[in-house]
């Protein structure tokens, strides 16, 4: 039967006692890769140098205590199983050890308890890590688009609001670009939604590759995307918009077919066109519709066109 490799930190100032731990684990079928150490410095170095499955420590280590070792381990890895195997007698030591966050405490004369404790703690550590992984994934999906892994509308709004606050403090500008794809419906209708999804992923990857680390690319939903560009004025936004349109028009291959789409982009800037995230999104969205209806590819928000649109909509609204 293949043995399970177990990487163990043995925090003990006695080579003989450390060997007892290794022999007990080996007899239980583990392939032990152990490292004995007895100082805070060597423990810190070991934790940074490698990944470990288990820590076994004496409670009293002369100038360096087992509880201090536990605190160092917990700071580095909250899930690493930590078991005291100690020569220190008395219930008080055991209670203090468990209160400090150890998973178990046993006397060196009662090593029969070690293997069941190790197996239990390895199972529970794996379960804790899986719960953390699932929780992190759920939190990520709350703020990211599942198809493209871009920030979603909620996270975009938060990033945009942060950029506006920073720009207000520094008397800088923020540009918001809203992109809508032209011809995307035809891709879905002709080749199916799987092909459409691949095109959206292609557009997302192309946009991500064009921007700076401080910028945010987001998917608003459907075939609509957005770009937040801190410290960028209208001219800079227009240059970026041109690069985006040029880049996304490059075909992507789906099932041995070359598929391509075009786009229309609307631009609105803080503080010229709006001073809040909600209004900036509204203005950029309007500019995008103007770019699409006029067939010009890129449009900057124009208050005059906005007033014309509102007057045209009043009869139907009434």
What lies within 8 Å, CB to CB, of 94 at 6+ separation is: 84, 105
Count of CB atoms situated within 10 Å of the CB of 100? 17
Give CA separation, 152 vs 36, 85, 219, 285, in Å: 48, 50, 5, 16
Residues composing the chain:
318
Catalytic, 223? Answer: yes
The candidate with the shortest Cα–Cα distance to 245, out of 198, 295, 188, 195, is 295
Supply 92's token pair: 């008080």
Q: What dihedral do alpha carbons 301, 303, 307, 308 form, nearest 10°?
A: -60
Supply 208's token pair: 């991500």
Alpha-carbon gap, residue 216 to 156, rounded angstroms: 7
Q: How far apart are the first and last CA of the chain?
A: 80
Is the peptide bond between 271 and the residue preceding it cis, with omega within 30 degrees of 0? yes
What lies within 8 Å, CB to CB, of 65 at 6+ separation is: 59
What lies within 8 Å, CB to CB, of 316 at 6+ separation is: none
**Per the residue annotation, which of 12, 58, 104, 223 is the catalytic one?**
223
Strand 257-259 to 252-254 pairing: antiparallel
Are residues 214 and 230 in contact, defined by beta-carbon separation less than 8 angstroms?
yes
Alpha-carbon gap, residue 147 to 216, rounded angstroms: 17
Supply 301's token pair: 């928000």
Known catalytic residues are 223
């Amino acid at each position: 039967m293949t043995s399970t490799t177990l990487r163990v930190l043995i925090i003990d100032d006695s080579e003989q006692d450390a060997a007892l731990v290794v022999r007990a684990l080996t007899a239980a079928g583990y392939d032990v890769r152990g490292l004995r150490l007895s100082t805070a410095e060597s423990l810190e170095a070991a934790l940074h140098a490698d990944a470990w499955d288990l820590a076994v420590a004496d409670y009293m280590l002369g100038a360096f205590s087992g509880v201090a070792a536990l605190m160092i381990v917990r700071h580095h890895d909250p899930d690493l199983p930590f078991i005291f195997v100690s020569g220190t007698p008395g219930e008080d030591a055991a209670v203090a050890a468990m209160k400090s966050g150890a998973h178990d405490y046993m006397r060196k004369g009662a090593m029969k308890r070690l293997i069941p404790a190790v197996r239990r703690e390895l199972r529970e550590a794996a379960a804790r890590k899986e719960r953390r992984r699932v929780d992190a994934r759920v939190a990520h999906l709350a703020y990211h688009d599942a198809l493209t892994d871009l920030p979603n509308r909620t996270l975009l709004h938060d990033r945009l609001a942060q950029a506006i606050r920073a720009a207000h403090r520094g008397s800088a500008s923020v540009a918001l670009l809203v992109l809508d794809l032209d011809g995307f419906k035809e891709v879905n209708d002709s080749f199916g939604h799987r092909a459409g999804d691949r095109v959206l992923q292609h557009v997302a990857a192309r946009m991500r590759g064009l921007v700076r680390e401080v910028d945010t690319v987001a998917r608003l939903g459907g075939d609509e995307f957005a770009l937040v560009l801190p410290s960028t004025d209208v001219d800079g936004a227009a240059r970026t918009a041109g690069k985006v349109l040029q880049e996304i028009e490059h075909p992507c291959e789906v099932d041995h077919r070359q598929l391509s789409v075009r786009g229309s982009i609307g631009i609105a800037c803080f503080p010229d066109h709006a001073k809040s995230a909600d209004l900036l999104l509204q203005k950029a969205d309007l500019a995008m519709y103007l770019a699409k209806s006029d067939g010009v590819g890129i449009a900057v928000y124009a208050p005059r066109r906005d007033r014309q649109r509102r007057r045209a909509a009043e009869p139907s609204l009434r």
